[in-house]
Amino acid sequence: MESEGNSEKKLSSSKLKKGSNIIPLTGAAALLTLAVSLAITAINKRRNSKRKDLPGCTFRVNLSASEILKLADRIIAKSKEVHDAVASVPVDKVTYKNVISPLAELEAQQFPLVQSCVVPKLVSTSDKVRKASAEAEKKIDAHICSCSKREDVYCVVKAFAAKGEWMGPEARHYVHCLVKEFERNGLNLTATKREEVQRLKAQIDELSFQYVQNLNDDSTSVLFHENELAGLPAEFLKTLEKAENGMFRVTLKSHHVAAVLELCKIGKTRRLVAMAYGKRCGKANLSVLEDLRQYCLQGDAMEVKAPGFHLVGGRVQARHKFARLLGYSNYAEYALNPRMAKTPSKVLEFLEDISSSLSDLANKELAMLKELKKQDEGELPFGVEDLLYYVKKVEQQEFDLDLGALKQYFPVNLVLSGIFKIFQDLFGLRFEEIADADAWHSDIRMFSVFDLSSGELLGYFYLDMYTREGKYGQTCVVALQNGSVAFNGARQVPLALLISQLQTDIGGIPSLLRFTEVVSLLHEFGHVVQHLCNRASFARFSGLRVDPDFVEIPAKVLENWCYESFSLKLISGFHQDITMPIEDEICKSLKKWRYSFSALKLKQEVLYCLFDQIIHSAENVDIFELFKHLHPKVMLGLPMLEGTNPASCFPRCAIGYEAACYSRIWSEVFAADIFTSKFRDGLLNQHVGMQFRTKVLAPGGAKDPIEILSDFLGREPSIQTFIDNKIECSLWN
């Protein structure tokens, strides 16, 4: 399974005339919904006979535990053989054919084999196979790590890069990435400095793991009498453990905390839970953060400027020291260098612009919440612990939405049919289901995807939709094989797997989806199409192996189809009569609900993103004072809860997203620009859809993301559309 920025996705569509407009649905909407269902059913019935070996596909299914371990050993042996051969090339004899081509083809050939070994741990029904898969993954990961530190291979690749041999732009970018990857592991440093880089990296990894482990192990709880939990449903109270004195024990796990902050009518209870949550692992994790960051710096104190305040420090933080050894000024520079945002100053400017542009709207939202609390609780001051409760209360008053009842309009097969219809019409694709495809469970479905005009096979995807014991518990897309073009011109087609966690049909009643599951499913299908429509020649740039700041943008664009009446009617229908799609008023309410209090919610996220960016950009930051300063500045005067230190329970600062927490907002902002500028007035305009497919999806990681978006939009992407959408769809419009 690929990490963020290293997996692939793809989309589908069918024909419309160039520039055609969409006619709004009228009373015939129900019949259209039925027609969509029947059309997709007809497509699905054109099934191919069972094929063990699919053209252009080398991913292997249903390997036994012993076969997985043997394959892992062969993968490692072949990789070592190729790396040894490349390393043996004299530096004065380097050519594209004897250095670069073998490494590129090794990646393309081995990726589906590696996935054949490691994906079973996510989906296999056999515990023995899952354990073997996890063991194989460790072995392969260790080998890949050792390859990235091979100085002999680096020297040969570097010699080729310096030679200046003519290459196409994608090949040149590939060589640049190879060199950069080696150098981000310290291969361009002296042996002493390289050892220090590896020592620091190992220590940082260990401390990061400890930080998260402390949170996972935390067993703190708060005791309350039943009357102090007024507003919480009886079903929830039944799940709470009772202490010996009969009081209810509320843990600080997220599902308990969220329930209290959203539903409890007692302000004092909300405050106590929020404060306890903010104090979790205070001593332990602040100590870990200090260990992560503090190394002595010999010499004079250093002066660092951050937005809105001034810091002076005399110690270098561990991540900064690591980054400096690699030639960067600070850790944020190191983390952002390979990303679309590029620099900490760009990220800070982006976050400040978003926050300031939404301040007026956020102030209106906050004033409404404060007034509501005044009506309920008198003159008690409004605090951050009140946000979730009063936001939910306003939403219940303003929107006629019963999200539970809404499930009845989203039977899973109809939703899938509608999604297929949208993607086929929009992107000029054709889906065909493969009957009796070789798979790991009887629920699995497999599809071929073709270009609608030419009939060219673009790739395949699996659907593993339903929950079962031992299966990976999140919804995601996993690249099983990346598209690529071999040295001899042969093309390897992409293969993707969509994993979801839907409930199976019960007693003849079809599986019904919550609206959030519908959005998630359409988002992940966006990734499937992104994977399959990528036309990069190198496997390294194929599918989802794109800039991590860019990888979510296409799927975020496609989420918008869940909030437009026309497309919502295509993916909905009452489960007992699918000719009855969702009503227009509900469609409008869903769109309003999407944007309700979005400025305040976003400001909370910006707060943490700024905190993350500053501590990884500036030296010797007092973490507590920094957060205390930022909180009222961003949150319109609302102070940080007394005695809390959110930095001690903010895992993204420690592992996985350090200096990159901004990326989710970044994706959402540019996705809004794309949808509003290009798609909103023509949801199935295939001319625009094909431009998106060829200009945005096809290049993959082979082209700079800003160039990709600018080429599609006809200008550089902007934050203004995102801001305008928030204001336009707010409660005051």
Structural domains of the chain, with CATH: 65-188 (1.20.1050.40), 219-279 (no CATH), 344-405+597-729 (1.10.1370.10), 410-569 (3.40.390.10)
DSSP for 15-82, please give it. Answer: ---TTPPPPPP-TTHHHHHHHHHHHHHHHHHSPBPP-SS-TT-----S--HHHHHHHHHHHHHHHHHH
Q: Note the pLDDT of residue 153.
A: 98
- 3-class secondary structure for 461-482? EEEEEECCCCCCCCCEEEEEEC
Q: Note the pLDDT of residue 289.
A: 76
**pLDDT grade for 724, boundaries at 50, 70 and 90:** very high
Mean pLDDT of 564-589: 93
User: Which DSSP helix (H) or strand (E) runs through 426?
Assistant: helix 412-427
What pairs with residue 499 in β-bridges?
A: 464, 476
Of residues 309 and 83, more confidently modeled: 83
20 pLDDT higher than 60: no
Most distant pair of Cα atoms in the chain: their distance? 82
Of residues 289 and 52, more confidently modeled: 289
Q: Note the pLDDT of residue 460.
A: 97
Residue at 49: amino acid letter? S
Q: Note the pLDDT of residue 282.
A: 86
- DSSP class of residue 431 equals E
Q: Note the pLDDT of residue 294.
A: 52
Outline where DSSP puts E strands in 281-351. Answer: 295-296, 302-306, 309-313, 315-316
**pLDDT grade for 508, boundaries at 50, 70 and 90:** low
Using CA atoms, how far apart are residues 65 and 659, in angstroms rounded to an integer? 39
CA–CA–CA angle 10, 586, 475 (5° rounding) = 30
Q: Is 524 annotated in the active site? A: yes
CA–CA–CA angle 697, 700, 701 (5° rounding) = 150
Using CA atoms, how far apart are residues 549 and 350, in angstroms rounded to an integer? 13
Retrieve residue 298's tokens: 């010999």
Mean pLDDT of 619-625: 82
Going by C-alpha positions, the residue among 529, 547, 425, 404 that lies closest to residue 479 is: 529
Mean pLDDT of 606-633: 90
Tell me what percent of the residues of the chain surpass a pLDDT of 70: 89
Task: Answer whether 645's CB lies under 8 Å from 286's CB.
Answer: yes
Q: Which of 8, 524, 605, 619 is catalytic?
A: 524
Tell me what percent of the residues of the chain surpass a pLDDT of 90: 77
Could you report the per-residue pLDDT of 174-191, keeping only the tens digit for each?
999 999 999 999 999 999
Mean pLDDT of 510-515: 90
Q: Note the pLDDT of residue 45.
A: 43
Using CA atoms, how far apart are residues 400 and 408, in angstroms rounded to an integer? 16
User: Which DSSP helix (H) or strand (E) runs through 610?
Assistant: helix 598-615
Q: Note the pLDDT of residue 10.
A: 33
353 pLDDT higher than 60: yes
Residue 431 makes CB contacts below 8 A (sequence gap 6+) with 12, 40, 43, 44, 420, 424, 447, 448, 449
Residue 13, by phi and psi: left (phi above 0), alpha (psi -120 to 50) or beta? beta
Using CA atoms, how far apart are residues 512 and 450, in angstroms rounded to an integer? 29
Retrieve residue 164's tokens: 């200046």
Q: Note the pLDDT of residue 18.
A: 31
Of residues 286 and 69, more confidently modeled: 69
Q: Note the pLDDT of residue 275.
A: 96
Task: Answer whether 459's CB lies under 8 Å from 531's CB.
Answer: yes
pTM of the model: 0.89
Residue 353 makes CB contacts below 8 A (sequence gap 6+) with 719
Mean pLDDT of 669-680: 97
Mean pLDDT, the chain, rounded, equals 88
